[in-house]
Amino acid sequence: MPSPFDGKTIAILVGSGFEEKPFVALQRALTAAGAKVKVISRDTGLTNGWADGAWGLSYPVDGHISETLAVDYDALVVPDGKRHVEILLNEAHAKRITSAFVREHVPSLFIGSGMGLAQECGLSLSEIPEEITTMDAFVLAPAGGDTEEIMVAFNAVIMNASAEEAAA
């Protein structure tokens, strides 16, 4: 049975300091589901994760944030990581991209501290959810959330968006 992620291009928006282990798990899960995953960052060439209280490994960047347009992607992921979210909150291009996804209700996944960027860009949250929550086209997941459960919720949002697109 085909996956709703087949042929979808997913932007993972990061700055150095994202939580490495959940980033890798999610990237693998999205790729296994058939998505084309693109890492978007203000860093050029490589960006660094954060693992166990120290700098982690370096990961290739597929696109520079200043050259990225939301319209080129079917969904957005902002992973957890206080350091990288602080960088993104001070980056006009990160806010521009995220605001476009929020404004247009394009499927987006915000994990842990990544929800702070969503709020800054117009997603109205009365409180930060402590469990995986779906709001319209958005999935909000707590830091340390189970990757499989996150993927189930994100899968539902992608399927709903695809159904709405087909009906239009």
Domains of the chain in sequence order: 9-167 (3.40.50.880)
List, for residues 95-136, the tens digit of each pLDDT value.
Answer: 999 999 999 999 999 999 999 999 999 998 888 888 999 998
Task: Check residue 2 and give its pLDDT.
Answer: 81
Task: Please state the pTM of the whole predicted model.
Answer: 0.96
79-102 per-residue burial string, b: 16 or more CB within 10 A, e: under 16? bbbbbbbebbbebebbbebbbbbb
Above pLDDT 90, what percent of the chain?
Answer: 88
Whether 100 and 70 have beta carbons less than 8 Å apart is answered as yes
Tokens 């370096």 belong to which residue?
58
pLDDT, mean of residues 75-95: 97
- Residue 64: phi, psi to the nearest 5? -80, 140
Residue 61 one-letter amino acid: V
Least confident segment among 1-10, 35-44, 111-120: 1-10
Per-residue pLDDT at 6 exceeds 90:
yes
